[in-house]
Amino acid sequence: MASSKFILIFVCFIIGSLMRSTNAQDPSKLTLEYYSKTCPHAQEIVRTEMECFVRADPRNAALLLRLHFHDCFVQGCDGSVLLDDTEILIGEKQAEQNVNSLKGFDLVDKIKEKLEAECPGVVTCADLLAIAARDAVVLVGGPYWHVPVGRLDAKEASLDLANNDIPTPQQGLLTLISKFWAKGLSATDMVALVGSHTIGFARCANYRDRIYGDFEHTSKYNPSSEAYLNKVKETCPLDSGDDNISAMDYASPAAFDNAFYDQLIRGEGLLNSDQEMWSSVLGSQTADLVNKYWADPGLFFKQFSDSMVKMGNITNPEGGEVRKNCRFVNT
């Protein structure tokens, strides 16, 4: 009796594993040709929309790039970040690093509408984000890379993982490195990917501690940059203005270039987490990379492209579906 029960459990386990594996996502299954027959114009459609958004406001490039990053760090790149809260699903939009911060969901909706009009039920929201992030970078002067596609959209999201896995600006270098390691990304990938902060803005709430000196023991602000520091403090008072924004690369906030690394070398990184890569006493390897990416923009572009593909290849082993609306799982 006990042995037949064991056999039944064993058979159920095997069937369960097989069912899961038929829908499971294997990163090696991502290909450049995935939509070549089913939606041959998918890439052009995303590109045309992105051109329109970035022409209207270059910040839109930063929004889409960050969305892809926050998608990939939670369950893999599976569009989970795009899901709205419903009665039966708790999304990731209220996570500490996302709430009042992550934007661009309306832009994703617009791209998805165009894709659905051309080839209904074919292109996933996760792939849409990966392609849009690449186009975002190119449209503000950054490198081009081929985006392997074929990701599936998750049927679930995880607020807990979003709270735990997405790095925060208050974290020290070793924690940041370990968070990237946990996703299969090296310190080299991290230093290159954080180069994304060459575009876009941060809210005062995220850099107040740094500019008022609370991080003196980790990343001390360069005292010779007093004039710049005072300007940033005007935008970010000690006790108000949480949502006021400053550019992370004040030299060229709307251009994807390597000026961000120069700022770190000057001790002027806006986020403590950014400055850690150059200033941390534990960061000789990361500081070395910062120096290299400032000295050689071509090297930065090459590593950034490679690391974006690597980050984009983090798939959700649970598999999923092709969502009709990026905000909701299919019914």
Residues annotated catalytic, as ranges: 70
CB of 140 vs ligand HEM, minimal distance in Å: 10
Give me the DSSP letters along 313-325: T---TT--B--SB
Q: Which H/E stretch holds residue 202?
A: strand 201-203
Size of interface with ligand HEM, in residues (CB under 6 A):
24
Member of 25, 46, 50, 66 binding ligand HEM (CB under 6 A): 66
Q: Does residue number 202 form part of the binding site for ligand HEM (CB under 6 A)? A: yes
Nearer to ligand HEM, 39 or 72 (CB): 72
Q: Which is nearer to ligand HEM, 12 or 56 (CB)?
A: 56
123 binds ligand HEM (CB under 6 A): no
- 110-118, 123-131, 162-170, 259-267 -> range binding ligand HEM (CB under 6 A): 162-170
Shortest CB 274 distance to ligand HEM, Å: 7
CA distance 118 to 40: 10
Give whichever of 108 and 322 is closer to ligand HEM, judged by the CB atom.
108
Q: How many whole angstroms separate alpha carbon 47 and alpha carbon 135?
A: 6
Gap between the Cα atoms of 290 and 287, Å rounded: 5
Quote the CA–CA distance of 44 and 134 in Å, as a whole number: 13
Q: Of the candidates 142, 148, 169, 269, which one interacts with ligand HEM according to CB under 6 A?
A: 169
Q: Which of 193, 50, 29 has the alpha carbon at shortest distance from 131? A: 50
Residue with token string 């968070």: 179
The interface region with ligand HEM, picked from 5-13, 63-71, 230-238, 288-296 by CB under 6 A, is: 63-71
- Three-state SS for 55? helix
If one asks whether residue 167 binds ligand HEM (CB under 6 A), the answer comes out as yes
62 near ligand HEM, judged by CB under 6 A: yes
Instruction: Tell me how far, at minimum, the Cβ of 224 lies from ligand HEM, in Å.
Output: 25
Residue with Cβ nearer ligand HEM (12 or 174): 174
By CB under 6 A, name the one of 59, 112, 310, 323 that touches ligand HEM: 59
Q: Which residue of the chain is nearest ligand HEM when measured via CB? A: 200
Which helix (H) or strand (E) element contains residue 292? helix 284-295
For 310, the 3-state DSSP assignment is: helix
Q: Is 158 helix (H, G, I), strand (E, B) or coil?
A: coil
By CB under 6 A, name the one of 114, 118, 201, 244 that touches ligand HEM.
Answer: 201
Q: Which long-range contacts (CB under 8 A, 24 or more apart) does 293-299 make?
A: 293/191, 293/192, 293/195, 293/258, 293/261, 294/258, 294/261, 294/262, 294/264, 294/265, 297/257, 297/258
Residue span binding ligand HEM (CB under 6 A) among the ranges 20-28, 193-201, 208-216, 291-299: 193-201
Binding residues among 248-287 for ligand HEM as defined by CB under 6 A: 271, 273
Residues 96 and 66: their CA atoms lie apart, in Å, by 15
145 binds ligand HEM (CB under 6 A): no
* Binding of ligand HEM by 236 (CB under 6 A): no
Using the rule CB under 6 A, which residue among 65, 115, 157, 173 binds ligand HEM? 65
Q: Between vectors from CA 276 to CA 272 and to CA 282, what angle results, nearest 5°?
A: 150
Q: How far apart are CA 270 and CA 42, in angstroms?
A: 37
Site residues for ligand HEM per CB under 6 A: 59, 62-63, 65-66, 69, 101, 103, 167-169, 176, 193-194, 196-197, 199-203, 206, 271, 273
Binding residues for heme b are 197
